[in-house]
Structure 1
Amino acid sequence: MPNDNNQDKEPGLFVSHNENNASVAQQEDPIAGTSNTTTGQVEENASAESTNLPLKKFIEPTIRHGLMSIVRSSWLNVLLVFIPLGWASHFVWNPTTTFILNFVAIVPLAKLLGFATEDIALRTGEVIGGLLNATFGNSIEMIISIISLTQNLVIVVQASMLGSILSNILIVLGMSFFCGGLRYKEQRFNITAAQTSASLLFISVVSLLLPAAFYGSTVNAETAAKERSDILNISRATSIILLIIYFAYLVFQFLQVPVEAFKVERQVSRIKLFNNNNNNANARDEECIAPETPVEREQAKGDEEEESPSMPWWMAVLLLLIITAFVAVCAEFLVPAIEQVVEQWHISETFVGLILLPIVGNAAEHVTAVTVAYKNKMDLALGVAVGSSMQVALLVMPIMVIIGWGIGVDMSLFFNVYETAVLFASVILVNYFIVGGQE
């Protein structure tokens, strides 16, 4: 008897409703495969067999199922106890303890942030999911930078922006390639989306050369104040242009480009379909998704079967907002604590901005990118790593310049020659790695 009752099925899973599609498809063309079969008929049958999947109905997860999925998402959730400890230490204990506790508290929050973003990406797609994750991940850099600007810590803000870009395109992207390579011999990704983000990142980095080039060409400036004023004017004009480019990119991403333009280019194997009637060597190449080894085939099959949203969409969005707020509070407590640690540990402000703050701010991106890369979702991993760097360069840095302009802080896009050269070389290296669409 047919059973249409799906209430006993586990929420969040796809339930089959048409188990006899294969036999029906075979009955539609009984003469397929005979000596009189044409190439078009063979191609049609092969396509029907390769795409002959049961019709599936998605059961929306319940609230209870979503809560259990959040609790069981990672063993790192046991570290959530450090959140109240880190907040309390800001008012009770010394700055070093506050720094350590809040730093540890961000680790499970970063994991939950990636979990919520991945759940939303299952509904919106990997490209939009990567853009969403990069946006929420950069909220930490935004809050830390605004707090630092209000305290006139321009060097810390500039170093943190530079460190955030470098850590994303070097550490996060490198670890994603490494962890994905541990499981898969070869991984492919969407060349269009990746090169779009990389090209925009390159444009933003080139724009950072303008203040440095102007500084190097004005050694005979009348006064140092006049030179700083000119650099500020160039930086502010450049920031406005970068913001326009970023919003134009959003329009391109969501309104102008059809969804088909961002389909993932998977690894393919070629199947030659011959015309037995003509008995010649004319062949047609048919693309089909096929992992290289049986192990990878089982892994990919398992991932596809298990990948379904584990919570209602509104719960995933609410979790994303709450976790982002918690991470922002922890990061906000880190700022005054780090200032005291600088004095006690005898380290420079540049080290704090270039090394420490990017580690805190990019914890969410690092965990998420490595996790999805291990699951062979390289589009989402690149969207997190390269997309986050692109958003820092096109959105966060220009906004910091505009905010500094509004509150009377001389925030500019001027970096010294060494910092500019390192950033430029890193972006060139990333463009070289992703140009082929595989790693």
Structure 2
Amino acid sequence: MAVPHADVGESTPLLPNGSVGTSAHRSFSDVLKGRGEPSWSTSLRFYLFSSWSNAVLIFVPLSAAAHYAQWDAGARFALSFMAIVPLAKLLGEATNQLSIKLGQTLGGLLNASFGNAVEIIVAIDALLHGQLRIVQTSLLGSILSNLLLVLGMSFFAQGVANGHGAEGTFGATAAQTSTSLMTLSCLTLVIPAAYHAAKFTGDDPLDPVRTVWQRDSLSGTYGRPLDGLLVISRGTAILLLLTYFAYLFFQFWTHKELFDEVKQQEGEDERASMSMISAGACLVAVTVITSFCADFLVASIEETAENYHIPKPFIGVVLLPLVSNAAEHVTSVWMATKSKMELVIAISIGSSIQIATFVIPLLVIIGWAVGQPLSLFFADFETIILFVSVLLVNLLIQDGKSNYMEGLMLIILYAVTALAFWVS
């Protein structure tokens, strides 16, 4: 009497000896992907050839060649600058593919963690090289770029694409919660500036890195750090990190209904084009490559600024954020033309919050660990610009509506800010 194979489906192929085909006969690439997921070849084909911007990856080996052959500083800076643009796009794509598979909560946390990966990589590299002003100005520039340029261009694009009389709408409550947190982080930068104004001992009020150090009135040299300023900065950094984690808990668990519209817009027409393992592997690989290109870029900044008379604050505040946020800029404007304003707010303000309450405090702690006196004291000029920018954004989004004129206001303020840093 034959024993039925209860676990064999009708369509399961039998081998010549009557046994059932098993996973032992699957290809190696099949083993490294989940059931129903795209193969490695399909995943990599999508990852490398789905966007025309990947053609710019040719600048990655060129930037390496320029660095090791010690080409002109301007060429090294430009090639590294261009190399990071497609790498930023690839980092975002790999993160997005993983987010689709992980679900809303874990996906949101992943996006929150890797959303500003390029800024973090560039800033850590500059920190390890002791270029504290580049760290400060590049992160400040990322906040200003997201709050003013990205949000402004998105508001403007939405108004123009849908008729000059059209208004974009978004959840005012969630937006105000986000901007309130942004305001808090901005205010925490005012306190170190106020303390420094009372305890200032240096001779260059426009250089917040140099004036962190106490100056000996007899020898004219700089000795130990201004301890109180570093204590305030490091203590505030720890508190901001705790606040950021509380915000994630608020956003993804206790009050996630406030952000449901963002999740719905993110999920529209979205289907994973890569397997989880291939997306994770690509994320790691591109992160490593980006770290090398960031090192090439940071190494060329000092010489480029001197040879071509470009102010270093302008490089940090304007140029570096443009390249690191290029993918976010395009995505936000594209979403705005489709009137997905919840996503626009999440991209622009959410990214700014992450930098202000996570990236900057994290770098202060890292600087503490490696002996670099990075503080939360920015120059008075920079602190005022940040405060005014956050104030304007708060005023414009409190009604939950946007139009092209509001977008133009934000763009104009960004242009004025860039001009101010050009002559600084």
Paired residue for 1:204? Answer: 185
Q: How does 1:211-360 map to 2 (within 5 A)?
A: 211-218=192-199, 228-257=226-255, 259-264=256-261, 306-360=269-323
- Shift in Å, 1:177: 2.3
How far, CA to CA, are the matches of 1:182 and 1:61 in structure 2?
38
In structure 1, give the amino acid aligned to 2:251. Answer: Q
Paired residue for 1:161? Answer: 139
For residues 259-303 of structure 1, the C-alpha deviation after alignment (integer angstroms, 9 at most, x for no partner) is 43422189xxxxxxxxxxxxxxxxxxxxxx9xxxxxxxxxx9xx9
Q: Secondary structure of 1:197's match?
A: helix
- Shift in Å, 1:81: 1.8
How far, CA to CA, are the matches of 1:421 and 1:238 in structure 2?
19
In structure 2, give the amino acid aligned to 1:366. Answer: H
- Shift in Å, 1:103: 1.6
Q: Secondary structure of 2:273's match?
A: coil
Contact preservation (8 Å) 2:182, 2:356: yes
How far, CA to CA, are the matches of 2:82 and 2:57 in structure 1?
9
Check if 1:424 corresponds to 2:405.
no
Contact preservation (8 Å) 2:225, 2:373: no
How far, CA to CA, are the matches of 2:346 and 2:200 in structure 1?
41
- Shift in Å, 1:210: 0.4
In structure 1, give the amino acid aligned to 2:145. Answer: S
How far, CA to CA, are the matches of 1:320 and 1:173 in structure 2?
27
Structure with bigger gyration radius: 1
How far, CA to CA, are the matches of 2:110 and 2:338 in structure 1?
19
Q: Secondary structure of 1:263's match?
A: helix
1:190–1:118 CA distance, 2 compared to 1 (3 A)? farther
For residues 246-265 of structure 1, the C-alpha deviation after alignment (integer angstroms, 9 at most, x for no partner) is 122222233433x4342218
- Shift in Å, 1:371: 3.5
Q: Greater shift after overlay, 124-133 or 349-358? A: 124-133
Contact preservation (8 Å) 1:192, 1:262: no
In structure 1, give the amino acid aligned to 2:394. Answer: N
Match of 1:73 among 33, 44, 50: 50
How far, CA to CA, are the matches of 1:171 and 1:326 in structure 2?
28
In structure 2, runs of 5+ residues without a counterpart are 1-34, 203-213, 216-222, 403-424
Q: How does 1:105-116 map to 2 (within 5 A)?
A: 105-116=83-94
Paired residue for 1:148? Answer: 126
How far, CA to CA, are the matches of 2:134 and 2:262 in structure 1?
41
How far, CA to CA, are the matches of 1:327 and 1:374 in structure 2?
30
How far, CA to CA, are the matches of 2:279 and 2:87 in structure 1?
14
1:131–1:216 CA distance, 2 compared to 1 (3 A)? same
Paired residue for 1:364? Answer: 327
Contact preservation (8 Å) 1:119, 1:310: yes
Paired residue for 1:383? Answer: 346
Q: Secondary structure of 2:168's match?
A: coil
Contact preservation (8 Å) 1:90, 1:98: yes
Contact preservation (8 Å) 1:130, 1:380: no
For residues 377-402 of structure 1, the C-alpha deviation after alignment (integer angstroms, 9 at most, x for no partner) is 43333222211211111112112222
How far, CA to CA, are the matches of 1:162 and 1:358 in structure 2?
9
How far, CA to CA, are the matches of 2:51 and 2:346 in structure 1?
23
How far, CA to CA, are the matches of 1:219 and 1:337 in structure 2?
32
TM-score, normalised by the number of residues in structure 1:
0.69
How far, CA to CA, are the matches of 2:285 and 2:363 in structure 1?
24
In structure 2, give the amino acid aligned to 1:88. Answer: A
In structure 2, give the amino acid aligned to 1:79. Answer: V
Match of 2:62 among 69, 73, 85: 85
Contact preservation (8 Å) 1:190, 1:263: no
1:88–1:309 CA distance, 2 compared to 1 (3 A)? same
Check if 1:175 corresponds to 2:153.
yes
Check if 1:415 corresponds to 2:392.
no
- Shift in Å, 1:203: 0.5
How far, CA to CA, are the matches of 1:74 and 1:399 in structure 2?
33
In structure 1, runs of 5+ residues without a counterpart are 1-57, 267-288, 290-299
Contact preservation (8 Å) 1:73, 1:115: no
Paired residue for 2:209? Answer: none
For residues 119-170 of structure 1, the C-alpha deviation after alignment (integer angstroms, 9 at most, x for no partner) is 4455567787566445324222222222222332222222222112111111
Q: How does 1:391-402 map to 2 (within 5 A)?
A: 391-402=354-365
Q: Secondary structure of 1:264's match?
A: helix
1:140–1:306 CA distance, 2 compared to 1 (3 A)? closer
How far, CA to CA, are the matches of 1:321 and 1:379 in structure 2?
30
1:122–1:413 CA distance, 2 compared to 1 (3 A)? same
TM-score, normalised by the number of residues in structure 2:
0.71
Q: CA RMSD in A?
A: 3.3
